[in-house]
Amino acid sequence: MPKISAPTVKEHRQAILTKLVDAAEAILRQEGIDALTAGAVTAQAGIARNSIYRYVDSVDDLRGLVLGRYLPRWTQAVDERVSALTEPRERVLEWVRANLQQAAVNGHGWLMEVARSTRLDNGLQMDLEHAHDTRDFLAEGLADLGLVNMPIRAEMIRAVVDAGFRSLDSGEPLTDVTHWAVVAVEAIIAASEARGDRPGAVVG
């Protein structure tokens, strides 16, 4: 029986799996998906190369485990911050702030690159779809403000947040990115209100 470095075999196995996932995450963040190989992971984790398949069936499993650390936590964090508010305008603005905060904490570009390259299980697929399926939330938020026919405005708000993600990935400070993203989204809402995008309004 192999020597174990934990009180139980189960704990030893979990410790080694954690090392492998940590190693995979470091490689994905620093070098990208093409650099993630069994040899690279085991070298980074400090275990024998032929041992990796005792813990995962494939390198693709490691990508899924890395995503599993972040996607559920991201969506939960955003949902908690938004659900704590009731005023429609502030809910939309808090959704913007919360997503940018999560992108700053976790990174965005590398996570989405990993997600695009990975076969996701049903739970992770739902988390990814929830993280990106913001049309309904934004449409509802704008409707709660009394605004109608909002698909273009909702897409513009999504575009502002996506631009914020890219700015964060390029090293811009979270405070600056959040400030200007909120300014832009407030301007979209204010322009829609000034234009009269309400039920029964006549636009000249």
3-state DSSP assignment of residue 2: coil
Q: How far is CA 69 from CA 23, 38, 111, 133, in A?
A: 13, 20, 11, 20
Specify the pTM.
Answer: 0.76
DSSP result, 76-101: HHHHHHHHT---HHHHHHHHHHHHHH
Distance between the two ends of the chain, CA-based, in angstroms?
81
Q: What is the mean pLDDT of each run of 10 residues along the chain (204 residues)?
A: 62 90 94 93 92 90 89 89 93 95 91 77 56 67 76 87 94 98 95 67 45
Main-chain dihedrals φ then ψ at residue 200, nearest 5 degrees = 85, -5
3-state SS class at 45: helix
Orientation of helix 151-169 relative to helix 109-116, angle to 10°: 110
Residue 123: per-residue pLDDT = 56
pLDDT the model gives residue 165: 94
Name the one residue in this structure whose structure tokens are 């913001």: 134
Considering the domain delimited by 9-56, tell me its CATH architecture: Orthogonal Bundle (1.10)
